[in-house]
Copies of this chain bind each other. A is one copy, B any other.
């Protein structure tokens, strides 16, 4: 390599999402020299603001925060990004097989599904409470739970029809999958992660709006937190620098990227496990860790955003929040209007099996179907868009899915303990590596901070 391509720092951080940026921040504060290598031409990873014009933004990546997500909330406060309550006054709408019905609060007005949902929440809560978020493979019935899909578990728990449908609506946006895609152990563990050291995870906190994971949004959009961190890290972030190879030996680590070669004492890899496994490792990753990363595919998720001159549904007493069962591409949607109320924005999740059905259809056809879903919730004016935007996270080279990784049966009990295990000079971070709010912004920040602490404790 030519000298001008070769750089040196104490630590190289791979990935400038929230995990990598949080790690870099703590390392710099501890006096380390740090280089952050980011494949994209922007920071923020799975956070992405969409410009609405006139200084307004909405989000087409991760966006919600809520109670017990103390790591991201504290970090945002530190960098001067404020939050506001996401919930919009008004009634929600429940659509079942094409029939729309207004409702208030968290409980959809479905006489048939309701008892199922109540039973589901109670049984899920009880099962999740037995799982240690930091070591799900040690749960008393871990082997049994990891031998079946979550769909099988739900049916065994006598949660049928409506209950399974409603759980799937949640899983669509939570991990871009269906109950059949993940092991029961993974899915119940995922519920156990909806909390922190002093607040055990619950399904209610994960699915809730006010008081739950969809409680608040960031003024200026969630990506602003990453952008502010990048300003703090001025000069240390190298964009358009996808990492192709990581070589380590007793003298250090060499990281080869499209923007040059870096030499460091240690490395923090803060990208999804799937993408980490696509780097050329020399020496190879331990086979068990490679096997684990082979088995953490992404969910499938697209965000569909329609922009209107104003949030017209609010005047009609609607919150813009909708739950749709049976046949519509959008199964969950929200009012995604910026804080000051204009322009109006509706955002729907197109995830799981609906993504699989719709992602390869012509854009025009898909847009029509999405707006029909929106119209079932807010009425025919849904078709009168100023703009319509789709963000398909599966088509992003540097994510390859969304919003997070899913473990099928057999994975956590066979390989889970290899998840965050340091590999020589290489430490792991990213939303997938957190025992709390795994796959969320909070988990990303926590994982980055924890990886930095692990590294500093060793050096």
| Min distance, Cβ A430 to any Cβ of chain B, angstroms | 16
Contacts of A151 on B, CB cut-off 8 Å? 147-148, 409
Interface stretch among A92-100, A291-299, A371-379, A437-445? A291-299
Give which listed residue, B294, B353, B359, contacts A400 with CB less than 8 A. Answer: B294
Does A414 interact with chain B (Cβ within 8 Å)?
Answer: yes
Q: Are B356 and A146 closer than 8 Å at their CB atoms?
A: no
Q: Are A410 and B180 closer than 8 Å at their CB atoms?
A: yes
Within 8 A of B (CB), among A396-415: 397, 400-401, 408-410, 414-415
Q: Are A395 and B287 closer than 8 Å at their CB atoms?
A: yes
| Min distance, Cβ A188 to any Cβ of chain B, angstroms | 16
Contacts of A335 on B, CB cut-off 8 Å? none
Q: Are A180 and B360 closer than 8 Å at their CB atoms?
A: no
Does A26 interact with chain B (Cβ within 8 Å)?
Answer: no
Q: Are B284 and A414 closer than 8 Å at their CB atoms?
A: no
- In this complex, how many residues of chain A approach chain B with their Cβ under 8 Å: the count is 40
Does A332 interact with chain B (Cβ within 8 Å)?
Answer: no
Does A288 interact with chain B (Cβ within 8 Å)?
Answer: yes
Bitwise interface map of A from 305 to 334 toward B, beta carbon under 8 Å scored 1, else 0? 000000000000000000000000000000
Q: Are A394 and B180 closer than 8 Å at their CB atoms?
A: no
Q: Are A392 and B149 closer than 8 Å at their CB atoms?
A: no
Does A213 interact with chain B (Cβ within 8 Å)?
Answer: no
Q: Are B294 and A298 closer than 8 Å at their CB atoms?
A: yes
Does A391 interact with chain B (Cβ within 8 Å)?
Answer: no
| Min distance, Cβ A411 to any Cβ of chain B, angstroms | 8
With the chains together, A274 CA to B244 CA distance in Å?
17
Q: Are B284 and A397 closer than 8 Å at their CB atoms?
A: yes
Contacts of A368 on B, CB cut-off 8 Å? none
Contacts of A409 on B, CB cut-off 8 Å? 149, 151, 180-181, 408-409
Bitwise interface map of A from 133 to 147 toward B, beta carbon under 8 Å scored 1, else 0? 000000000000011
Contacts of A401 on B, CB cut-off 8 Å? 291, 294
Does A160 interact with chain B (Cβ within 8 Å)?
Answer: no
With the chains together, A392 CA to B287 CA distance in Å?
9
14 A–B contacts from the bound complex (CB under 8 Å):
A147-B151, A148-B148, A148-B151, A148-B180, A149-B409, A181-B408, A287-B392, A291-B298, A291-B300, A291-B401, A294-B297, A353-B414, A408-B410, A409-B409
Give which listed residue, B177, B274, B294, B414, contacts A356 with CB less than 8 A. Answer: B414
| Min distance, Cβ A182 to any Cβ of chain B, angstroms | 9
Q: Are A287 and B180 closer than 8 Å at their CB atoms?
A: no
Q: Are A291 and B394 closer than 8 Å at their CB atoms?
A: yes
Contacts of A244 on B, CB cut-off 8 Å? 244
Does A199 interact with chain B (Cβ within 8 Å)?
Answer: no
With the chains together, A291 CA to B72 CA distance in Å?
30
| Min distance, Cβ A48 to any Cβ of chain B, angstroms | 17
With the chains together, A165 CA to B298 CA distance in Å?
31
| Min distance, Cβ A436 to any Cβ of chain B, angstroms | 25
Q: Are A290 and B147 closer than 8 Å at their CB atoms?
A: no
| Min distance, Cβ A331 to any Cβ of chain B, angstroms | 16
Q: Are A178 and B410 closer than 8 Å at their CB atoms?
A: yes
| Min distance, Cβ A401 to any Cβ of chain B, angstroms | 7
| Min distance, Cβ A97 to any Cβ of chain B, angstroms | 19
Does A152 interact with chain B (Cβ within 8 Å)?
Answer: yes
Does A277 interact with chain B (Cβ within 8 Å)?
Answer: yes
Q: Are A284 and B395 closer than 8 Å at their CB atoms?
A: yes
